[in-house]
Amino acid sequence: MSDIRERLDRLPITSMHRRVIAVLAFAYFFELADLNTFGYAATSILGQWHIQIHTVALITSASFFGMFFGSTVGGGLADRYGRKRAFIVSVLIYTVASLANAISWNVASLAFFRLVTGVGLSAVTVIANTYLSEVFPVRARGKSMAIVMTIGLIGIPATAWVARFVIPMAPWGWRIVFIWGALGMLVLPFAMRMSESPRWLLTNGRADEAETVVAAYERKATTEFGSLETFRPVVASGVAGASHAEKGNFAALFNLFYRGRTIVLLVVWALVVLGFYGFIAWVPTLLVKQGFSVVKSLNYASLIAICNPVGAALALALIERFERKFLFAVFAVFVAIVVTAYGWTFNPTLIVIYGALVVIGIQATTVVTYTYTPEVYPTEVRGAGMGLAYGAGRLANVLGPFIVSALYGAVGYLSVFLYIAVCYLAAAALLGVFGLRVTGRSLETAAAGSVVSSDESRLLR
């Protein structure tokens, strides 16, 4: 059954693939909506509970500690027990916890519920990215991730506009924002109908089940497109550096074969997440602290948030045309330039224009990192690798809110955005120089750090 991986890569995109995109995009919509609920709700909580900006930082940090735990544990569990099962459990955790956010009665309760919500949110992201990379053919991995992100990122402006209307409605309006985020539980009936990842089944000794899933994809492709291209094996089964016994084992990520790429990814993810949330999570609050009203700050943040899907759409157009690590570097440098310009201005029009450009660049880099990370590990430890890298960013951002709070208090508004620019410039340099080339390679070849064979190039056409 060693040809299953190659048979997956030769498939055209069928209605079965499109159903996977629909399920994951729906999950991403509310996952990203929920991830941003507190950033908007905080504008009201600040005044209602009479808390200071460092308390907002504390609650945000609790959420990110939960994300670190959820991503590392979730990725490892997905490697051991399956992508589908882990995905369903993760959705349940974050949606139930998000409902609990809505009944928070003080800072401590909200911080605890945000921590638990973070556990489920990050696990969903890690597992969904891993599953998608394993199911889609080599020539469409990046595009499929970009499509899912483009649709999912609509959840951010949707949340911004929900917040814009419900928060001013009543003193308890911020609670509705958290209920909105919990609607992701509606994806569960559809997630339960997804098939398990054939690659995961194969590496766990369940070759007959893997064959059944791949055969179903092939039958659907034959029905929709006619006869398939004659199959010829193009990649040998197995990848150096990992074994079945090491599935979900984080120690394997630091063996001689994977240590370099793991360290690079850990640092890149830490820098990107510090920069990402230094902007996304703080825009409404910092505008309020600079003297803008809550309504105006929410208006500006809502207009900026509309451009979140635009960044993913930009990545969609380019991600299969250019090597991923270089594309990331270009997007990251762009972010550094426009976020610095954003920090210099207090003109309302320029705030929206520069803010929109920052968001476009940020989300374009996000699509590339989400696609790139699971591509550099084999199936046995792909979930663990994605989870550890994603978790490193979330752990770094436990300190991120305090860095922003300290910079704002000690140096001023502009320093926050210069700090974000430095994060993105450092990440661009690191991945651009030391990252692996992965575009156009099968998962097995990319993880092995091998070159593209002539047969594999044929699959891309």
Residue 323: predicted pLDDT: 92
pLDDT in tens, 14-37: 999 999 999 999 998 988 888 777
pLDDT for 237 beyond 90: no
| Separation between Cα atoms, residue 319 and residue 327, nearest integer Å | 7
Looking at the structure of the chain, the number of domains it has is 1
236 assigned to some structural domain: no
Cα–Cα distances in angstroms (integers) from residue 295 to residues 60, 165, 284, 292, 334, in the given order: 22, 10, 10, 8, 29
Tokens of 151: 């649709």
Nearest to 330 by CA among 226, 431, 419, 254: 431
Amino acid at 226: G
Better pLDDT: 269 or 290: 269
Contacts of 391 (CB under 8 A, 6+ apart): 67, 68, 69, 70, 71, 72, 75, 122, 126
The sign one gets for the Cα dihedral 217, 221, 227, 230 is: negative
For the segment 431-459, the average pLDDT, to the nearest whole number, is 63
Query: Per the domain annotation, does 235 fall within a domain?
Result: no
At CB < 8 A and 24+ separation, what contacts does 166-171 make? 167/40, 167/41, 167/43, 167/44, 167/294, 167/298, 168/294, 168/295, 171/44, 171/48
Type of residue at 59: I
- Name the more confident of 367 and 453: 367
The alpha carbon of 190 is separated from its chain's Cα centroid by a whole number of angstroms, namely 20
| 231 domain residue, yes or no | no
| CATH number of the domain enclosing 79 | 1.20.1250.20
- Is residue 263 included in any domain, yes or no? yes
Residue 102: which domain range? 4-197+206-225+256-460
> Does residue 116 form part of some domain?
yes
In sequence order, what are the residues at sequence separation of 6 or more whose Cβ sits closer than 8 angstroms to the Cβ of residue 13?
A: 136, 137, 140, 144
CA torsion through residues 274, 278, 279, 282, sign: positive
Cβ neighbours, 10 Å, residue 279: 24
Per-residue burial over 5-22, b if 16 or more Cβ lie within 10 Å, else e, is bbbbbbbbbbebbeebbb
pTM as predicted:
0.78
In a domain, residue 443? The reply is yes
251 within some domain = no
pLDDT tens across 123-139, in order? 998 899 899 988 988 88
337, part of any domain: yes
Q: What is the pLDDT of residues 379-417, one digit of tens each?
A: 888 888 888 998 888 888 778 878 888 888 888 888 989
